[in-house]
Chain A
């Protein structure tokens, strides 16, 4: 009994990293600081100064408390119960002391509060000339829509420019978190929220979802690439062209990844939140109403536009509508792609 417990503990401790190779994992660049990630935006340094100030105030006050506690414990420790040692003094109040230790922290607290308030106002007041990018949260994927209408699953921004991200969600609450920029904002269904930043370092930084959103919350990752010079504009133009020239099935495959279809629909036949795409075209599905339908071009199109209408039996009605997000050309591409997944 104990032997097998020990054995399983050993195997557990030695458990090899069984990372899902399909899972997208951004790299966190080595930071110059112990406590915080790299400072890659204009506000990051400002927020960190306050962070450090609070850190010093905290460390000093905690050390003082611990020191007083330890000192009194050692110095005034009673020998034993038998000797009935009495306290050296029964002093039990001092208004001067009470006022001192109420008022002294007050000044620190006020300074921290005012400082934090000022930075917060700057953090959430986007400058007027910002580049606007729309971010959409959905289970379990971020998509970013650029000013020219191009949509990608990763964020690309120019260095030293003000960028405003308008955030929405199509299902539950998510939260867009860019640690290197010290920026975070919830994506709330039914309204827009926003954040802004001005990136000061070229490079690639992780993006997380920080509001719990269900099964694959921890896989709702992306990354932001900060381009130098004209890199951002060039990237955008090149991407557009690339998409234009793709054959339909490849375009469809691209859309499958970009719009987060992969989060629920597998290609290998395994069951997930939604029906698998393996062999989906031409398959006869039983709907939740009991009706039988054959999956053809029209069924696929309808399922993208109005996914709640015909739900396949045994699956939750969770898919958001993509009406207005996908052009006809892209939908044609998806249909062509699904025909190839056999």
Chain B
């Protein structure tokens, strides 16, 4: 490996050339970009499945595809979006690029493990795609037994894929936790850490503690299906509700694995674009940890109608309500951050505001579902579909989009077109609401989810929803178009286009191979903007030198 050259143009993108220099790289930024490419390709696949589903639901009867294909399409959509897109989206893709930069470090603690995690992701994704092309699983992403052990589709490759993806997630969490403990720069105390890193920290805890449970559960399911050992299937002496307990013991924390990093991204964007210190830093930081801990104790709220005992249901419902508090605290603090700020409505900020919008709706509709009596009516209807899409799609994906735009200049060294960016954000937000608001209405009116055929009464709502989905699809195509185009034609990005004070903005765009020439020393919090001033010649922010200030 060549030593970092001293030329000005040398950066991590140009440092080495050729496809092998990417596939064998140990550089966290390159690994992050490879994750980003993979995650966005998976997003295209999962999104296409979503478009197919919404097109099929245009009429109450058969429209484009048959029963079986429809069931396979929603299984594919769910599994791809959860395991391949949202879970690795912010932590593995953006986190990999940004985390060591924010720490002023050269890399993560275990660069080889980091590359191995990416390869595990690829192998896991290939397993899922194997299932897709052989005879796509039709179980739904939840793999409920005994359906998943008796269906004739190829469930085992899909399970095995999710199993391997779990390891990718565990290793990433482990790597980030170690990095955060060991590689913080001189002067960066825990409470001087950027909130994105607090979020990644909380996520890491959940990834390490919850994901092994999913692994073992899927393995048991594989054993039952392949060898016929009775664990979950009552015909073999097993218990199908046990599977649900195991599954949600992972998959509820997984919801927070998906959304807590999104909180982190938004917590970075709000102060930078308000030119103001974040409001309630400690509350936001510690609420991430509170959510991570409480998130382990609420899995039974997915099972109020499964025949689980009333006592268990009560406990799960109660703890679920407790989680609402740290979540609400965050939202209030973000709003308070804008108070008396100097708010710039650039694309990342628009996505952050969109996040606040959709996440508020996703949050309050969660109350209907955590209340046991109203959940009985709403469980497994479109109300639930709308709720978790507002949180997952509206929350996690919106924040991912915000994060991509926010760090795009840093990652690629190019600016995206600001005007198109804003138009794209507005189209996506409009489409999102048009897709999922009608789903709340049809859900509370009794429309069950995962229905290929439906009663005519629900057709107008379904058509509105489909129109919204197509709008959103076009919005994302627009975003993809201008982002890809900006790689070639975008103007060169300044080091600090938004005026952030976290360390990643204090190196070049794109960063050098070793990130920083001298290890930075931290003397203040991450959200101090007094030292930065906009310089029109640079097109970005520059630090006011100490002499000039005095």
Contact = CB atoms under 8 A, between A and B. Distances in A.
Interface of A: 12-13, 15, 17-20, 23, 25-28, 31, 34-37, 46-47, 50-51, 54-55, 57-58, 61-62, 65-66, 68-69, 72-73, 76-78, 81-82, 84-94, 97-98, 101-102, 105-106, 109-110, 112-113, 115-121, 123-124, 171-173, 175, 177, 179-180, 182-186, 188-191, 193, 206, 208-219, 316, 318
A123 B373 contact: yes
B240 A37 contact: no
Given A35-B444, A81-B534, A116 B345 contact: no
A171 B341 contact: no
A47 B270 CA distance: 39
Contacts of A208: 446, 448
A50 B371 contact: yes
Contacts of B370: 113
A210 B55 CA distance: 22
Interface in B41-55: 55
Interface in B370-390: 370-377, 379-381
Given A57-B364, A82-B536, A98 B283 contact: yes
Given A28-B457, A106-B325, A183-B376, A35 B445 contact: yes
Given A85-B342, A180-B446, 12 more contacts: A20-B62, A36-B446, A51-B444, A54-B368, A54-B374, A76-B274, A94-B280, A98-B283, A101-B332, A109-B325, A120-B373, A188-B306
B22 interface: no
A93 B280 contact: yes
Contact of B372 (A120, A211, A219): A120
A212 B140 contact: yes
A58 to B, nearest CB: 4
Contacts, number: 298
Given A20-B62, A72-B339, A81 B456 contact: no
Nearest to A179: B446
B543 interface: no
Given A15-B63, A17-B61, A214-B147, A102 B325 contact: yes
A73 B455 contact: no
Contact of A86 (B152, B282, B342, B445): B342
B374 A171 contact: no
A105 B330 CA distance: 13
B280 A87 contact: no
A65 B338 contact: no
A57 B335 CA distance: 19
Interface in B500-545: 527, 529-530, 533-534, 536
A158 B335 CA distance: 54
A211 B450 CA distance: 9
The interface centre, meaning the residue of A77, A115, A206 with most chain B CB atoms within 10 A of its CB, is A77
Contacts of A69: 335, 338, 353, 356-357
Contacts of B373: 46-47, 50, 115-120, 123
Nearest to A122: B373
Interface string B50-84: 00000100111111100110010000000000000
B452 interface: yes
B485 interface: no
Nearest to A174: B147
A73 B353 contact: yes
Interface string B323-343: 011001101110110111111
A66 B336 contact: no
Nearest to B328: A105
B279 A93 contact: yes
Nearest to A317: B150
Contact of B64 (A12, A94, A113): A12
B60 A66 contact: no
B455 A51 contact: no
B376 A120 contact: yes
A93 B179 CA distance: 29
A94 B325 CA distance: 17
A81 B325 CA distance: 36
Interface stretch (B9-17, B90-98, B310-318): B310-318
A27 B68 CA distance: 25
Given A50-B371, A172-B147, A210-B380, A98 B329 contact: yes
Given A36-B445, A117-B317, A188 B455 contact: no
A106 to B, nearest CB: 6
7 contacts: A20-B61, A28-B457, A36-B446, A69-B357, A116-B375, A215-B68, A218-B67
A31 B458 CA distance: 13
A19 B61 contact: yes
Given A65-B360, A78-B344, A210-B379, A92 B277 contact: yes
B239 interface: yes
A115 B373 CA distance: 9
A216 B453 CA distance: 9
A120 B310 contact: yes
A76 B376 contact: no
Contacts of A25: 455-456
Given A12-B55, A87-B340, A186-B307, A120 B450 contact: no
A12 B58 contact: yes
Given A18-B61, A210-B379, A217 B451 contact: yes
Contacts of A58: 364-365, 367-368
B151 interface: yes
Nearest to A221: B455
A58 B364 CA distance: 5
Contacts of A18: 59, 61-63
The interface centre, meaning the residue of A19, A76, A97, A219 with most chain B CB atoms within 10 A of its CB, is A76
B234 interface: yes
Nearest to B527: A92
Contacts of B451: 217-218
